[in-house]
Every structure is written in structure tokens, then in C-alpha cells.
């Protein structure tokens, strides 16, 4: 069963656009990438591969990563 990975990071001050660009460059091609007005970036990757470590200069804190599996209905 394939697991989905959700990655969320808060951009360091002034680095929101750079963090989004980094996430887009490193996320799997089919992953969904989102941003919020307060500088958070979320990547949802259905392949489960996730992202490599973000450059520390781009993030205000270490990213949070969760792994999910589908629930049959």
C-alpha cells in the first residue's frame, strides 16, 4: 500500500517565495504544493517519497512530516 507524505514548513522571515521555489524544485512532479499567507508551505506527495532536508536558511523551524495511508470505504 502506498503511503502519502505531508510536509509542512514555516518560511524564515523574507524567504516565503524562496521556500516555495525550493519545494517546487524538489517535490515529486505529481505532488501538490500549497502556500499560506503567513509563510507556510505544504507539500502532499502521494508517492510517499517526500522532500529532502530544506536549507536551514529558508525555514523558521524544522519542517513537520506526516505519513498517511488511505482508509478503505
Q: What is the pLDDT of residue 1?
A: 64
**Residue 73 resides in a domain:** no
pLDDT per position as a tens digit, 10-38: 999 999 999 999 999 999 999 999 999 99
H or E segment to which residue 23 belongs: helix 16-26
Q: How far apart are CA 18 and CA 22, in angstroms?
A: 6
Q: CA nearest 20: which of 57, 49, 70, 58?
A: 58
- What are the cell numbers at 13? 522571515
**Residue 42 resides in a domain:** yes
What pTM was computed for the model? 0.92
**Residue 34 resides in a domain:** yes
**Residue 53 resides in a domain:** no
How many domains does one find in the chain? 1
Percent of the chain whose pLDDT exceeds 70: 99
**Residue 11 resides in a domain:** yes
**Residue 20 resides in a domain:** yes
- What domain range includes position 39? 4-48+60-68
Average pLDDT, the chain: 95
Q: How far apart are CA 60 and CA 40, in angstroms?
A: 10
Amino acid at each position: 500500500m502506498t503511503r502519502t507524505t505531508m510536509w509542512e514548513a514555516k518560511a524564515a522571515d523574507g524567504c516565503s517565495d524562496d521556500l516555495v521555489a525550493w519545494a517546487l524544485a524538489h517535490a515529486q512532479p505529481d505532488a501538490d504544493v500549497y502556500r499560506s499567507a503567513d509563510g507556510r508551505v505544504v507539500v502532499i506527495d502521494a508517492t510517499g517519497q517526500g522532500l529532502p532536508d530544506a536549507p536551514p536558511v529558508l525555514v523558521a523551524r524544522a519542517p513537520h512530516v506526516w505519513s498517511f495511508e488511505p482508509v478503505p470505504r
